[in-house]
Structure 1
Amino acid sequence: MKLVVQVKLLPSPVQASALEATLRACNRAATHASTIAFGTGIKDRNGLHKEVYADLRTNFGLSAQPAVRAIKKVVDAYTALKAKLRAGSLGSPNSKRYGKAVSTPITFRPEAAQPFDDRCLSWQYDARTVSIWTVSGRMKGLHFACSPDQLKTLMAHRKGESDLVQRGGKWYLIATCDMPDPQTYEPSDWIGVDRGIVNLATTSDGTNYQGRRLGRYRRWQARKRAELQAKQTRSATRRLSYRTQKERRHAAQMNHRISKEIVSVAQRTGRGIAVEELGGIRERVRLRRDQRGTLSSWPFHQLGQYLIYKARRAGVPFLEVDAAYTSQRCPCCGHTERANRSHRDHFRCRRCGLAGPADVVAGVNVRDRARSAWVFITMPVPPPS
């Protein structure tokens, strides 16, 4: 499995100026290459290399390997755009968003991340320094900071490119680590996880991770954003960007904490983790206007992704099951009716009288479906007759 490790660079003012100039030069070169690719229709790596390589080296001050990385970044960007168009992520071909995407070349922000491979970036783990190419020459002895666990992971598993990133005036290197998948054990049972808006996650064990604090925080942030948007000044725009990033980090930290705890419980008890398949829920569900912002900012997908990679890293089995009627089905008698859940928080079966917290009941249904699905998955295939 692939993981990324982010380390913080500690450059001097002179080194920071050289890094900023390097990032801007690489992104200017990438934007130029993208314009050529869009105008000529040449978007494969070899063809674009022949078209723009000499120009990037002569007019943008890039050496050989950074020019190659800039070309690959452009090719990857157009490949990603093509995949988005094919998947319908940018709307239908008649939509305004789709038309804008296909009618203009891709541009790169001056501070956009730039990939570096082992030819233009080397790591000295014992000294906690890196040597990196810049437009001012090779910069050696650039210190970085990370935790002991991150350093151990870098030393053992770092492989491939590392991205140079600038955020909020600070510098980071994001390294890719290729780690072997641990052996997944045979689960003794399953933990069903029901994801929601009021309660971010509720397990079949009855553990509830409430989303009230996150909801209050986001409503407060929304009011502050509205106040800043009304000012319509450049400083207000900068503050809006800062608040957006802060809110995103806050939600990510909560999802990390929840997923880490669920995976830890599953690993300790020898069970697997099962969640509902919620792909496409935003397209399927019709909401009132005042509810749309809440659903759009619901971080359920991120929580699912965190559960997947943490479970894989710990060797915990993971399953996604059908989400249909998990909140309306009685896990005792199987009776499914909308009236079973007359209130958001309470469940009461109209047939057998089973009652309890609605989200816990949904988690139990997810667990029961995972049991059935796992039996089917692990069932031996009969030999052909």
Structure 2
Amino acid sequence: GIANIANIATTATATATGTGTGTGTGDGVRHSGKTLNAVRHRHRELRRRLQAKATKSAKRLLRKRRRKEARFAADINHTIARRIVTEAARTGRGIALEDLQGIRDRVRLRKPQRVTLHAWSFHQLGHFIAYKAARAGVALVWVDPAYTSQACSACGHVAKNNRPDQETFACTSCGFAEHADVNAARNIAARGETGWAVSHAA
């Protein structure tokens, strides 16, 4: 499954048992957004200064900056999509993705996170993964993301208190603890398995 904001994407299987701290492309791996966020922050400051000038040359440089940032974000999306699809093909697994239509309307965040959320192209990443998966013959299914971040991937208990902070998941029912994005990704993977089984039932 794929999840979240601080991390652009997180991979996990429905039955994975790792701690979610791996650095390869296997289970429980988080593709960090720190580098992208730092670059975007730098670009945002440059844009702010150029917009304040309001000259023709500043406007021209502003357009150039926007194109450069879009190419940078697309390159990162391509890299992440390629890693995810390659790993799925290598292990003979399918891919489950959150259907994030309307995420900007549903999610309420502090301003810095909201800016990152609006700026980051989740739709583009999903599109890249989908077409690379189709080309590689990897099964892909879209799932409803509702409560994937609040539900325990071990016992299924859903509660807001299961998320004491952005990175931590700690089930208030069974005590299961995991990185929040890895837990969410496992929930997405489990929904993907169910959805695929239902849609391909004989």
CA distance in 1, matches of 2:123, 2:5: 12
2:37 equivalent to 1:228? no
Taking a change above 3 Å as real, the CA distance of residues 241 and 278 of structure 1, as seen in their structure-2 partners, is: same
* Runs of 4+ more than 6 Å apart: none
CA distance in 1, matches of 2:59, 2:115: 20
Q: Computing the radius of gyration over CA atoms, which structure comes out larger, 1 or 2?
A: 1
In structure 1, the residue matched to 2:6 is 198
Counterpart of 1:259 (choices 67, 76, 81) is 81
In structure 2, the residue matched to 1:313 is 135
Counterpart of 2:165 (choices 322, 335, 343) is 343
Could you say which structure has the greater relative contact order, defined with CA pairs below 8 angstroms and 6 or more residues apart? 2
* Structure 2 gap ranges (5+): 13-26
Aligned positions of 1:1-385 closer than 5 A: 192-194=1-3, 196-204=4-12, 205-380=27-202
Task: Tell me the CA shift for residue 282 of structure 1.
Answer: 1.4
Taking a change above 3 Å as real, the CA distance of residues 344 and 375 of structure 1, as seen in their structure-2 partners, is: same
* Structure 1 gap ranges (5+): 1-191, 381-385
Task: Tell me the CA shift for residue 193 of structure 1.
Answer: 2.0
In structure 1, the residue matched to 2:18 is none
**How many residues get paired?**
188
Structure number having the greater strand percentage: 1
Per the alignment, in what secondary structure is the counterpart of residue 193 of structure 1?
A: coil
TM-score (norm 2): 0.89
Per the alignment, in what secondary structure is the counterpart of residue 141 of structure 2?
A: strand
Task: Tell me the CA shift for residue 198 of structure 1.
Answer: 0.8
Task: Tell me the CA shift for residue 229 of structure 1.
Answer: 1.1
**1:206 maps to amino acid:** G
CA distance in 1, matches of 2:30, 2:104: 24
CA RMSD of aligned residues (A): 1.2
CA distance in 1, matches of 2:38, 2:108: 23
In structure 2, the residue matched to 1:9 is none
Taking a change above 3 Å as real, the CA distance of residues 206 and 289 of structure 1, as seen in their structure-2 partners, is: closer
Instruction: String of CA shifts for 1:270-323, please: whole Å, max 9, x gaps.
Output: 100001111011123344555442221021111000001000111110001110
TM-score (norm 1): 0.48
Indicate the percent of aligned positions where both proteins have the same amino acid. 49
Taking a change above 3 Å as real, the CA distance of residues 292 and 193 of structure 1, as seen in their structure-2 partners, is: closer
Instruction: String of CA shifts for 1:61-80, please: whole Å, max 9, x gaps.
Output: xxxxxxxxxxxxxxxxxxxx
CA distance in 1, matches of 2:30, 2:66: 27
Taking a change above 3 Å as real, the CA distance of residues 353 and 291 of structure 1, as seen in their structure-2 partners, is: closer
Task: Tell me the CA shift for residue 333 of structure 1.
Answer: 1.0
